[in-house]
Amino acid sequence: GAGVSQSPSNKVTEKGKDVELRCDPISGHTALYWYRQSLGQGLEFLIYFQGNSAPDKSGLPSDRFSAERTGGSVSTLTIQRTQQEDSAVYLCASSLLASSNSPLHFGNGTRLTVT
């Protein structure tokens, strides 16, 4: 079946502009995660959804970052007033349910470049 789909695959924006990144999880997966990966670095947790609610927003770096999920499916990560330090690959992952035995399945990511 289809995997996790993210769009756009690449986004170049000017400093100060807002951007929206989209994630379409694997059908039936109830849990959805956003991570950020800067060049040569590890994965930085941003936010986690169970259904449409976000029990854990602890990783959002600032109030410029927000995310929502509708219909228990598609999620949008919004970055307002982008800064150069926001440049990174934003990865979305989903898992079947909130269980310790459910692994994460990643999308191909959105590469964001802020000029």
Partner 1 sequence: QKEVEQNSGPLSVPEGAIASLNCTYSDRGSQSFFWYRQYSGKSPELIMSIYSNGDKEDGRFTAQLNKASQYVSLLIRDSQPSDSATYLCAVNYNFNKFYFGSGTKLNVKP
Which residues of the shown chain bind partner 1 in the complex (CB under 8 A)?
Answer: 31, 33, 35, 41-43, 45, 48, 50, 55-56, 91, 98-101, 103-109
Shortest Å, Cβ 13 to partner 1: 20
Shortest Å, Cβ 114 to partner 1: 19
**CB-wise, 25 or 107, nearer to partner 1?**
107
Name all contacts of 53-60 with Cβ < 8 Å and 24+ positions apart.
none
Rounded distance between C-alpha atoms, residue 42 and residue 88, angstroms = 11
**CB-wise, 18 or 56, nearer to partner 1?**
56
Strand partners, 88: 112
Shortest Å, Cβ 73 to partner 1: 18
Parallel/antiparallel/unpaired status of strands 31-37 and 43-50: antiparallel
Shortest Å, Cβ 111 to partner 1: 9
**CB-wise, 1 or 14, nearer to partner 1?**
1
**CB-wise, 74 or 106, nearer to partner 1?**
106
Q: What's at 93, amino acid-wise? A: A
Residue showing tokens 């990865």: 91
Q: Phi/psi at 84 (nearest 5 deg)? A: -60, -30
